[in-house]
Amino acid sequence: LDSFIIVTTFLFLWFAINFGDTTEDMVAYFLILTFGILHGANDLKLIQTSNSKAKKKYNFLKVASYYILFILFCASLFYYLPSLALFTFVLFSGYHFGEQHWNSKLKSQSRTTILFYSSYGLFVLSLLFVSQVTVVNSVIENITGYAVPIRFYTYLLFLSGGLFIALYILLTKITSSSVVGVKEIFYLVLFLIVFKTASLLWSFAIYFILWHSLPSLVDQIRFLYGDVTKKSIILYLKTSFVYWAISVTGLALLYLFIGKDSDTFEPIFFSFLAAITFPHVLVMIRLYK
């Protein structure tokens, strides 16, 4: 999978060089609406399987009701307290990205690993923020009504990067760290090149789809069905279809009735993704335990 992701990243990088922002953004929306939302569309099945393995009772209607209410609560946060909601979303996303990327490598859970996952994810996000600072600031201002000082992104970059390096050294304890370290440096440099070259949405899509959603889909399918086969992929698609369809339909309605220009729709789009991300992060924390 790693080789496929790297090769496809370079292919998408070529796409960014040869096509304009409008084309990039159209493909980015398509990938996020398909693979991106799909990777978070099977949470109820994951909870059911997790409870079954732990020999706990599972009430579908009760769990589904709580799940939907939590999404609505998160969505309301973006309406009433957008600054707090966005800040929390960035923290959650940072941890979520880091957990998915490093969980199989560290195979341990502690307060230190939680901080490590968060620092890595926030470092990747801060690379994106710094690389696309003008557009990022515009999106954040449209969501919250406040302009973030440019220097804040630089502070976040150095703080998260320094913490990540320190915790990496602490956790790996030098054992095989040289090989893993070289690979991770290569990945981070590749991310930076992508973030500097592509538009904000295309940059986010490349990382979110290739480096997060696809590996997460593989992890989920293995957890649910034991292995990644044609049959297990079809089963995954069947169980996730309803939630995926509802999510895409909801976003399509927002697009039709609220905003069609990029300045209006991008903040709504990211807020929508955030609202459905919060419960997914909690489900995946449970899965990786």
What is the distance, to the nearest Å, from the Cα of residue 181 to the centroid of all Cα atoms in its chain?
A: 22
Say whether pLDDT at 66 is over 50.
yes
* DSSP category for residue 149: P
Q: Is 147 exposed, middle or buried (0-12, 13-18, 19+ CB in 10 A)?
A: exposed
Residues 87-103: tens digit of each pLDDT: 999 999 999 999 999 98
- Our CA angle for 218, 219, 221, nearest 5°, is 65
Every domain of the chain and the residues it spans: 2-288
- pLDDT over 80 at 235, yes or no: yes
Q: Which residues fall within 8 angstroms of residue 277, CB to CB, at 6 or more apart?
A: 40, 89, 92, 93, 96
Q: What is the pLDDT of residues 123-181, one digit of tens each?
A: 999 999 999 999 999 989 988 888 899 999 999 999 999 999 999 888 877 445 555 78
**Residue 247: its pLDDT value, please?**
87
Per-residue pLDDT, 174: 46
Which pLDDT score is estimated for 104? 83
**pLDDT tens digits, one per residue of 257-284:** 766 565 667 777 778 888 888 999 999 9
In contact, 155 and 148? CB cutoff 8 Å: no
Q: Can you give the pLDDT at residue 289?
A: 74
